Amino acid sequence: MNRVRTREVVDKLGIPVVRSDGLGIEVHRKTPLEVERWRITTGGGIAGNSDQVWLSPVSRHTPTFAIPRGPYWNKTQLERALRAWRRGE
């Protein structure tokens, strides 16, 4: 998975992108109490994990249950994970 393929999944699901930079793709999710900031990071370079995608909270102020999710290896896995994330699961 690279950033282009990850962005295709995000666009397909209609998730608004707040920022896309070298750190990853930042998306927000509204909860009854706040707006949670999450980042979809893709591996890069020549590292052995360069084909993984992770979904993780941007700040430490998110609830304790908001731990990083992943790794996702293909578009289907990422799409399922983002659908569950959007529902608040």
pLDDT digits (tens, 9 = 90+) for 4-46: 889 999 999 999 999 998 888 999 988 888 888 899 988 755 5
* Cross-strand bridge partners of residue 54: 41
pLDDT digits (tens, 9 = 90+) for 47-74: 555 678 889 888 766 565 667 888 898 9
Instruction: Report whether pLDDT(78) > 80.
Output: yes
Q: Are 5 and 75 in contact (CB under 8 A)?
A: yes
Q: Are 42 and 2 in contact (CB under 8 A)?
A: yes
**What are the sequence ranges of the domains in the chain?**
3-87
